[in-house]
Structure 1
Amino acid sequence: MSEVDILPISVRSQDDTVLEVPTPRQVLRIAINLKYLIDSMITRHYNDGDIDAVITEEFVTLAYKACGGDEKDTQSSKKYQAVIVFALLNVYSWYQSIINDEIHEINFFITRSIVVQKLCQIIIEREEKKNIHYLFNHILLRRYSIFEIAGSSNQMNAVELATDLHCTIIVGTSGFQRCLVWLWDGWIIQSPKNLDCFIKEEIVVSTSYLDHFTPQRIKTPKYQNFLTILFSVIYLILYSTVMNEKLIINIEPINKKEFCFILFTLGYVIDEIMKFHYIGIAYFQFWTCFNDSLYLLVTLSIILRLKSLYLSNSPNDTYGVISYRLLACAVPLAWSRLLLYLESQKFIGIMLVVVKHMMRESIIFFFLLILLLLGFLQGFIALDLSDGELDVTNSVINNLLATIIGFGDLSVFENFASPYATILYYCYSFVISVILLNILIALYSNAYQNVVDNADSEYMCLMSQKTLRFIRAPDENVFVPPCNIFEIILSLILLGQNEAIKQSALYVVMTLLYAPLLIITSLWEVRTARRIKYNRLWGVPDDSNQQDTIWDLTDGYVESVGISLRNDAETGIKATLKKNSTMLIEQSQEEKKDPKFSVTEEWYDRLEKLKNTSNNPQSTLLKLLYEQNKNIIKLTKKIEKLDRKLEILQQKKKD
């Protein structure tokens, strides 16, 4: 038997232990200790370039020790150190609240906030190198609670908290992004027994096709995202069909297409309500409100449509006309809604972030606009009342609103309280066109520049929000809307039945619904499982070999040709090892054709010395200080010589 035949194909991961969770009061004490450490070390404002020099090795060590625990007992120290990023994020939120209250010290507390993020970045990067499973399962994804004045907070994990606080430095770290990728690919899932824990999904290692052919894999965010886009396109097609075929001259009964459209809308509305119930106010973001506005308009249209159909005796009911027109007004929202699900594409995602920031900046503009509009409107109404009648107020209001978008008409004021109304309108036009609109342009330009300057960080935060959108609301049986209608109907039919019977029925329905997608995803996951087994053979992380490195001849994995359902990974491993061996032999033979081709050992020695020098900033700093001291000594000697010459010249003048 050859050496390849006895190679293991599966290696158990390093850290499968489940640590106890510190109590909320213990988490509070850890956070207070960390805040005291940062307050003691950061006593003044630092520039961005100087902050990295402040966070020394001793600083990081003290941050770990601030968590407490028995240093001699690994389980004890890990139990409390697992809370360090969550506690630091709470400290960050405290600093943000202080910034809002003490504006005169804003730069000082901004520095401390940045130090918190930088400290989290260093900790995440270190733990990623030590034990990636401990980082994912305990530091980033384990849910903790902290005690506050009002009581214990809602349980959250560091990923959720960092995303909600928009900590771009933390979200942009390598370990954080890898954690999101594992969540997105379904390699880490929420524990079915304890919703506060996340565990590794062992199915991803299985090379059995049937193991992957389960509706539970639809919990994977990337599969949910695909289904959401697919159903959104179908919904848009139904929307357009209903709009184009509907006649409002005579009330027609609901046909099959309109009935499907109503069911789709109902499924989306129910899904929004359930997510808000589980997530809370954190679920409401800019694009969520955008979506909800569409659902609100369409729901009102459907209600009016049903009212005109079943509660009206008139063939030309007004409710039917209003229903159709509401549906027509919501069409732009229905098309724009697709952008929400295409945000995983970087260009679209960044543009959506720009739009969101612009809408936020618009609040300042509209606040000023409303105040000025009310002021000028009161002036025009007073002028209209000067003759005892309100006869031109409506036309004045329409003209003031039209002026905002550049369609004002001066002729409205020609025969109205001349010349006072004309002068007042000129002032209004000047303020709107010259001042306010330019302020709006400046705000939009600033928002665009801020996002583009931090495009990568903003995109990573957006993807973090998108990933959490699929996993934050716990759901044992994932029915992507509008499939949740089937779940509701089945739950009503099986009301009062045994829970085991209910779950079995839901499992069968989910399998039938998702079977077309599962046929494809199972094939893909089996191929991925073989690569994971190959990675574990060499004791490297599961995601080490997902992308082939073109200049590394031993990288990559030899897949079987065509579609293979075989439940083994040894064939691919043998082929990969053979390929690597052949590649290295051929490369070595080619390099040895010219004996003078290879670089000498001296080259490696000089490189090692250069690397040690460049990687040791303290020695480099000492050299710079030494050079500066030499220059200062030289200048001092020159100044002394000049002083002596001056003394000699002064003495000669006196003589």
Structure 2
Amino acid sequence: MPSYLLPTSNGVDWSCEQPPSYDVPNSRQILRICVNLKYLIDKVVPILYDEKLIMCDHSRILNLHVITLAKEACGGKKDDPKSLHKYQSVVIFSLLKVCSWNWELAASELHNAELYYLRASAAQQLCKLIIEQDETRDAQFLFIQMLCQRYVINENDEDSVAQNALELAMDMHCTTVIGSSGYQRCLKWLWRGWIVQNKYDSKSYVICDSVSSSKFTSHFHPDRLKTPMYQNIITIIFSFVFLVLYTIVVNGKDSQEVQGIDFLEGVFYFFMLGSIFDEISKCYHVGWSYLGFWNSFNDTMYFIISTSMILRVISVSPIQTRYPAEYWDKISYRILSCAAPMVWTRLLLYLESSRFVGALLVVLKHMMQESIVFFFLLLLIVLGFMQGFIGLDSSDGNREITWPTISNLLRTVLGAGSFDMFDDFAPPFASILYYSYSFVVSVILLNILIALYSTAYDKVIDNSVDEYMALMAQKTLRYIRAPDDDVYVPPLNLVEVCLSPFLHFMPRKMAKRVSTFVLTILYFPMLFVVAVKEVREAKRVCYNRMKKQEDDANESDVAWDLTDGYVDDADGWIPRGNTSGIAATQKKNKRTLKLQKEAELSDPDFRVKPDWFKSVKCSVQPVDNGFRSGIGWESYDLYREITKQREESDKQTEMIQTLTKMVKDLSIRLDSQEK
């Protein structure tokens, strides 16, 4: 395309569908890499700088030379790409470990806490710069080896649990790393199922080999259900079904007598058991890192419904208890009714893909975490005043209004306390004590709670974009972090539990075929929709690879790039041919470029002179040069002049050395001729 037209998109070659295999450093080698990187960061950030000088994208402190040193700190043979890849693949993981070490130092050495926090921020920013640099050089190596590969580090003579950089950054809540373009792009590939778990090793990841396939059968397979996006859709559908079943069950009691468990109530309990089993399974495989605020929310709801379910089973069973069956039946429905707010609120967890709902959930999460401080203070104060009132009540040898007093203290927290009951109770001590309690709770503690909520809100809103990306990272990894060869979305995971004893005694290949057949039957409608969708996407991927661009290029059509975008409509819902969309896209681009060229050449005086582009380059601040050298723009002219003089001096020195050598050789020849 002529240079005077608008720029076109460009990218890297993704012709290789399977990543090359690399060796993984052992735990002791990773420890040495972490120590080297900590030494580098300690020297680069020896004192307190302004954080903006470090966290900007073209920092003079974390410049290109520091990035190079960070990679060299990993070791490896310089002229051997395989050796370099082996050790440099762990650089992101190691920098995150260095960040965690600095956080630990900040917690233990408070006098230098600000410096350690700054070094931790520098480690995160260095991660971001390396990720964004390698994204343009070798994105496939970045995604598979640097971010998705799990590594083990030896700390205090103990090997840690295998973890990759994606999971570690999310667990540490490193929003700087999570917000980098390469990290988010890797998550996007995982979300779409373009990066999948290795079928030979469920703990490692590979590029999906069917991304560019236009065959319907390549995408109509239960393995595609491992894709987080499809799991999320199925989970949302089942959540609405769960809500409908809950509404029917909780409002279906129309008799004082004990009714048997009907079909819909049984299905509701089936959903419940499947969700509980899924939570236990993921917690077992992932560990404590899986537990979070919203997991606790779900688990509380499951506990309430499970309690109701147990009492309901007791009411219809022949078991003889102290109370009649009608009593347990009534208590069961009352407990089940208390779970209604949580059942409806739970739907928000599956709508967090929306940025507004996601930010709202993050704010609520931080507010609830900040409430822990308030409730801790409240508990101590309530216990103190409660003991005082109990002492006043028992001072005459009798305890008469202990429980009414305790109830009144708890109601005061909600603003419903009463002063009347203390008028005739141990005057004037009880009144003085209660007035003091009301002042502390209503004036001091409640204002502290408001201040904590305000702080949490400001903290999230000021960093809402990074917090939302962190939330989406957690959502994506939640579906794939627990390795599973066959994905049965709850409550259908109970089907897998029932099949497991039979599959265990079958040959491995036969067991896989049976499981695949069962999954195909269970998810047939979803698999058909997925296959149609992915076949259409495969056409665009083929077009991108033909143009030597990234697989996720040309997904949108922007005004400033005349050759981006893809004509999806030409393929139809079911593509009619292998080249229909590609031909339509090339035809569209050719026509667009022709019209643009004709419009620009219609007036000979319209074209901008080539000198204008040179003037623009000379007019802008030398940010890239300062990033490479570490020198600010205000000193760069002097630096450039010194560099030129140094280069000229080196050339003159080289010429003198060359002439000296020639004179010596000539004198040696003359001496030999004279002899």
TM-score by length of 2: 0.89
Deviates more, 1:484-493 or 1:529-538: 484-493
Q: Report the counterpart of residue 642 of structure 1 in structure 2.
A: none
Match in the other structure for 1:31: 34
What is the SS of the residue equivalent to 1:20? coil
- Counterpart check, 1:389 vs 2:398: yes
CA shift, 1:608, in A, is 2.4
**Match for residue 131 of structure 1?**
138
TM-fit CA distance, 1:525? 0.7
User: How big is the shift at 1:319?
Assistant: 1.7
- CA offset at residue 185 of structure 1? 0.3
Structure 2 Cα separation of the partners of residues 236 and 179 of structure 1: 34
Partner of 2:457: 448
**Residue pair 2:37, 2:70 contacting (<8 A) in 1 also:** yes
Whole-angstrom CA distance in 2 between matches of 1:396 and 1:150: 56
1:520-531 to structure 2, matched below 5 A, reads 520-531=529-540
What amino acid maps onto 1:131 in structure 2?
D
The 8 Å contact of residues 118 and 169 in structure 1, kept in 2 or not, is answered as: yes
User: Is 1:111 the equivalent of 2:123?
Assistant: no
Distance 1:72 1:396, change over 3 A: same
Tell me the residue number matched to 1:157: 164
Partner of 2:670: none
Aligned to 1:289: 296
Distance 2:178 2:586 in 1: 37
2:96 maps to: 89
C-alpha change, 1:619 and 1:66, in structure 2 (3 Å) is: closer
Q: Which residue of 2 aligns with 1:239?
A: 246
Asked if residue 357 in structure 1 is aligned to residue 366 in structure 2, the reply is yes
The alignment partner of 1:199 has SS state of: strand
Assess if the C-alpha contact under 8 Å between 1:86 and 1:161 holds in 2. Answer: yes
Shift of 1:101: 1.0
The verdict on how the C-alpha distance between 1:14 and 1:496 changes in structure 2, with shifts beyond 3 A counting, is closer
Name the aligned partner's letter for residue 218 of structure 2.
Answer: D
Selected match of 2:586 from 551, 561, 577: 577
Judging changes above 3 Å, is the alpha-carbon distance between structure 1 residues 378 and 230 closer, same or farther for their aligned structure 2 residues?
A: same
d(CA) in 2 for partners of 1:371, 1:620: 58
Change (3 A) 1:562 1:54: closer
Which letter does structure 1 place at the counterpart of 2:363?
A: V
- How far, CA to CA, are the matches of 2:95 and 2:623 in structure 1? 31
* Structure 2 residue corresponding to 1:544, chosen from 534, 542, 553: 553
Deviations 1:514-550 (A, max 9, x none): 1111222211111111101111111111111122223
Say if 2:444 is the partner of 1:461.
no
Deviation (angstroms), 1:197: 2.0
CA distance in structure 2 between the aligned counterparts of 1:561 and 1:198, rounded to whole angstroms = 33
Aligned to 1:622: 635
Q: Which residue of structure 1 aligns with residue 543 of structure 2?
A: 534
Tell me if 1:61 matches 2:55: no
1:345 match: 354
Alpha-carbon distance in 2 for matches of 1:371, 1:612: 59
2:524 to 515, 520, 528: 515
Moved more, 564-573 or 79-88: 564-573
Partner of residue 270 from structure 2, selected from 263, 284, 289: 263
| Equivalent runs, 1:157-556 vs 2, <5 Å | 157-247=164-254, 249-312=256-319, 316-494=325-503, 496-556=505-565
Aligned pairs (5 A) from 1:558-597: 558-561=567-570, 563-566=572-575, 568-597=577-606
| CA 1:111–1:188: 2 relative to 1, 3 Å | same
d(CA) in 1 for partners of 2:433, 2:211: 72
CA distance in 2 between counterparts of 1:345 and 1:322 reads: 38
Give me the whole-angstrom Cα distance separating, in 2, the residues matched to 1:231 and 1:15: 34
Name 1:41's counterpart in structure 2. 44
Once the two structures are TM-superposed, the CA of residue 623 in structure 1 deviates from its matched residue by: 6.3
RMSD: 1.8
Question: What 5-or-longer segments of structure 1 have no aligned partner?
Answer: 1-9, 627-655
Instruction: Work out the CA distance in 1 between the residues paired with 2:203 and 2:93.
Output: 14
* 1:336–1:391 CA distance, 2 compared to 1 (3 A): same
Aligned partners of 1:444 and 1:566: how far apart in 2? Answer: 53
| Offset of residue 349 of structure 1 | 0.8
Deviations along 1:105-154, whole A, 9 cap, x unmatched? 11010010011001101110110010000000100001100011251111
Shift of 1:485: 1.6
CA–CA distance in 2 between the matches of 1:434 and 1:354? 24
Please state whether the residue corresponding to 1:324 is helix, strand or coil: helix
Matches of 2:169 and 2:73, distance apart in 1: 21
User: Which shifted more, 531-540 or 38-47?
Assistant: 38-47
What are the equivalent positions in structure 2 for 1:12-27 lying under 5 Å apart?
A: 12-13=15-16, 16-27=19-30
Identical amino acids, percent of aligned pairs: 45
Name the aligned partner's letter for residue 88 of structure 1: L
Distance 1:508 1:234 in 2: 24
In the alignment of these two chains, the number of paired residues is 617
Cα distance in 2 between the residues matched to 1:152 and 1:244: 54
CA apart distance, 1:457: 0.5
Conserved 8 A contact 2:366-2:456: yes
Cα deviation 1:400-420 (Å, max 9, x = unaligned): 000001001001111111111
- The alignment's TM-score, normalised by the length of structure 1, stands at 0.91
Counterpart of 2:72 in structure 1: which amino acid?
Answer: K
Is residue 374–residue 449 contact of structure 2 (8 Å, CA) maintained in 1?
A: yes
- Asked whether the equivalents of residues 251 and 315 of structure 1 are also in contact (C-alpha less than 8 Å), the reply is no
Contact 2:92/2:127 (<8 A) preserved = yes
Q: Once the 2 structures are TM-superposed, how far is the Cα of residue 613 of structure 1 from its aligned partner? A: 4.0
Q: Tell me the distance in 1 between the aligned counterparts of 2:17 and 2:500.
A: 41
Alpha-carbon shift at residue 298 of structure 1 (Å) = 0.7
Paired residue type of 2:251: N
What is the CA-CA distance between 1:606 and the residue it aligns to?
Answer: 1.3
The letter of the residue matching 2:103 is Q
- Name the residue aligned to 1:6: none
| Aligned twin of 2:10 | none
Which structure is richer in relative contact order (CA contacts within 8 A, separation 6 or more)?
Answer: 2
The AA in structure 1 aligned to 2:418 is: D
Say whether the 8 Å CA contact 1:14–1:133 is kept in structure 2: no
Whole-angstrom CA distance in 2 between matches of 1:300 and 1:428: 36
C-alpha deviation, 1:473, in angstroms: 0.4
Tell me how far 1:571 sits from its aligned partner. 2.4
Aligned to 1:637: none
Q: CA deviation at 1:50?
A: 2.2
What secondary structure, in the 3-state scheme, does the structure 2 residue paired with 1:269 have? helix
